[in-house]
Amino acid sequence: MAQTKKWYTTEQGFTLIELLVSISILSIVAVVFFSFFTQASLSNQKADTQVAAVNVAERVLNDIKSSGPALGCDESQLGYENDGKGFYIVNGKEKYYVSVTCDDTYDVNGLMLVETVLYDDEDRELVTMYDYFIDWEEE
């Protein structure tokens, strides 16, 4: 019996097909992996905007609270600038448009509901905050 030489045991390296398949699999894994970073970055940016808007809304509520009954909820009396589009506050590089609504009816405890809404330049609502103030007329 003649000895047959096994061709696959003497060959070294990978075939072209094996290399193409492995590169394709590696590419797919890399795309999925890097898409997580992109999504995390977008989510982080949105959270930063939301936190900044909440801080500005709290500032507006504090301005209303410190203004007392003389000014009430009139944005024009709170010292905010108006560019024709509305009253706004600048925080860093961002401009936040302010809308304040006071419920003129007081509840049984003498509290007045105040709603503060912030918008961006494109009129997208960023945050809505509510607070109760003591009836100024009873003070």
Round to whole Å and give the CA distance between 54 and 50. 6
What per-residue confidence (pLDDT) applies to 121?
Answer: 87
What per-residue confidence (pLDDT) applies to 110?
Answer: 74
Distances (CA, A) of 79 to 47, 87, 100: 28, 9, 13
Number of residues that this document lists for the chain? 139
Round to whole Å and give the CA distance between 90 and 113. 25
Which residues, 6+ apart, have CB-to-CB distance to 98 below 8 Å? 60, 75, 80, 86, 87, 88, 89, 116, 117, 118
| Whether residue 134 has pLDDT greater than 90 | no
Q: 129, 54 in Cβ contact below 8 A?
A: yes
Domain definitions of the chain by residue range: 15-138
- Three-state secondary-structure class, residue 102: strand
Round to whole Å and give the CA distance between 91 and 95. 6
What per-residue confidence (pLDDT) applies to 139?
Answer: 47
Where is pLDDT greater, at 110 or 132? 132
Where is pLDDT greater, at 139 or 13? 13
Q: What is the pLDDT of residues 67-124, one digit of tens each?
A: 765 566 777 777 788 888 888 888 888 889 988 888 777 676 778 888 889 998 888 9
| CA R_g for the chain | 31
| Whether residue 131 has pLDDT greater than 70 | yes
Q: What is the pLDDT of residues 34-53, one digit of tens each?
A: 999 899 999 999 899 889 99
